[in-house]
Amino acid sequence: MNMGRTGFIFDLDGVIVDTAKYHYLAWKKLADELGISFTEEDNENFKGVSRNRCLEILLEMGDLTVSQAQFSAWLAEKNEDYLAYIAGMDETEILPDVPRALEHLRGRNVPIALGSASKNAAPILEKVQLLPYFDTLVDGNSVTKAKPDPEVFLIAAEKLGVAPEDCVVFEDAVAGIEAANNAGMTSIGIGDADILDKADYNFKDFTEIDTEFLDDLLR
């Protein structure tokens, strides 16, 4: 373990790329089919939450109990719709100033990990050509416990060889900020500060994060 060295962990959806809107549209389509009302506000509870758990929540909202086969079919349908949305993704869908931050951190030679609940993380990073910035990817395929459990970030810290208390996490989800806090890491909320009020720091997006702030995190 490299004590004292700072590790950076980025969530994917809603932090690096604006895919939260595609997740919302895909869930909304399924919700409409099932006659369940689903708003953007409801979608906040889906951010950072595994695909499986999202469908459980949606069915709870509609008071529906279904067979395992039906559950799997709807899960697959949502993912197919989501994949259709992201099929044409390219670098233009990277959120503002994310490449600048990644480039700056790379220049400082700090280890960088992805910490995402998504099982689609690797192909998305590849499409937007940001894969080379990451030393390791920890995603929905490598965890058993979903955020707010700290597992995803603790695995990322271990893979980076950095102590959890020396890691910084960028997150747009309430569950993700809780996961980072539960891991004993520094949490940085990206988005609405009122929603992400448990974060150690809050920024609307990366345009508000200057290089001095990033460098201060290294000390």
Could you give the angle at which helices 151-160 and 174-182 cross, rounded to 10 degrees?
A: 60
Give catalytic status of residue 135 as yes or no.
Answer: no
Shortest gap between Cβ of 19 and ligand BG6 (angstroms)?
8
Cβ contact 150:126 at 8 Å: no
Q: Scan for tokens 């309430």, then name that residue.
A: 174
Give catalytic status of residue 42 as yes or no.
Answer: no
Shortest gap between Cβ of 133 and ligand BG6 (angstroms)?
18
Q: Binding of ligand BG6 at residue 47 (CB under 6 A)?
A: yes
What DSSP letter does each residue of 63-83 carry, written as one string?
T----HHHHHHHHHHHHHHHH
Q: Which helix (H) or strand (E) holds 190?
A: strand 186-190
Amino acid letter at 161?
G
Site string for ligand BG6, 161-180 (x = CB under 6 A): ------------x-------
Amino acid letter at 143?
V
CA–CA dist 16, 37 (Å, integer): 28
CA–CA dist 117, 53 (Å, integer): 11
Indicate the residue among 143 and 173 with the shorter CB distance to Mg ion: 173
Chain positions 161 to 190 lying near Mg ion, rule: CB under 5 A, are: 172-173
Q: Binding of ligand BG6 at residue 156 (CB under 6 A)?
A: no
Q: Is 104 exposed, middle or buried (0-12, 13-18, 19+ CB in 10 A)?
A: middle
Q: Scan for tokens 């099982």, then name that residue.
A: 119
Q: Return the one option of Mg ion, ligand BG6, none that residue 188 interacts with (CB less than 5 to 8 A, by type).
A: none
Shortest gap between Cβ of 63 and ligand BG6 (angstroms)?
21
Which listed residue (11, 139, 166, 172) is catalytic?
11
Chain positions 91 to 150 lying near ligand BG6, rule: CB under 6 A, are: 116-120, 140
Q: Binding of ligand BG6 at residue 28 (CB under 6 A)?
A: no
Among 6, 8, 10, 11, binds Mg ion (CB under 5 A): 11
Q: Binding of ligand BG6 at residue 29 (CB under 6 A)?
A: no
Q: What does the binding site for ligand BG6 look like in residue numbers (CB under 6 A)?
A: 12-13, 23, 46-51, 54, 79, 116-120, 140, 173
Active-site residue set = 11, 13
